[in-house]
Amino acid sequence: MNSTPRWGITLPLRSMPLPDQRDLVAALPDLGYTDAWSSEVNGADAFAPLAAAAQWTTGLRFGTAIAGIYTRGPALLAMNAATCASLAPDRFVLGIGTSSPVIVEEWNGLALARPYQRARDTLVFLRAALAGEKVSGQY
C-alpha cells in the first residue's frame, strides 16, 4: 500500500496571538502542510483555534489531538465537534482522549477513574450524537 505523506502543524503557535496567525495559516498549504492540529494543555482550548483557522484557508485538514473527555462532557464535545465540522466540511477530525493525571486530577480536581470505560462510553455517545441520533442511554 502506497500512502501520501501528510505534513502537520500544531495550532495555535505559541509565539504570537491567534488573531495574528491568519496570514501564516493561510500560507500553510502552499508551504506543503496538509494538516493543522490542536490540543488542550495549558493554553487555548482545542476547538477555537481550529474554528478560526478554518476561516483562513480551505486547504488544510483540521483535528484535535486531543480533546479531553474528563474536562469536557460528551454532549459538549459533540457540540464543539459539530461546529468545527460545519466550519470545515469534510476536513475536520475529532481526536479524544483521557488526558493525563496532572491535567485531570491536579489542575481540574477530578478523579481519573476508569479511563478505558469512560473513553469507550464517550465514543459510543459521540458516534450516535454526531450521526444525528437522540442519545438517552446511561454512561
Amino acid at 129: A
pLDDT digits 0-9 by tens, 37-68:
998 887 889 999 999 999 999 999 999 999 99
* Residue 63 per-residue DSSP state: E
- Predicted TM-score (pTM) of the model is 0.90
Q: Which triple of cell numbers denotes residue 114?
A: 476508569
Mean pLDDT confidence for 102-112: 95
Residue-level length of the chain: 139
pLDDT digits 0-9 by tens, 82-92:
999 999 999 99
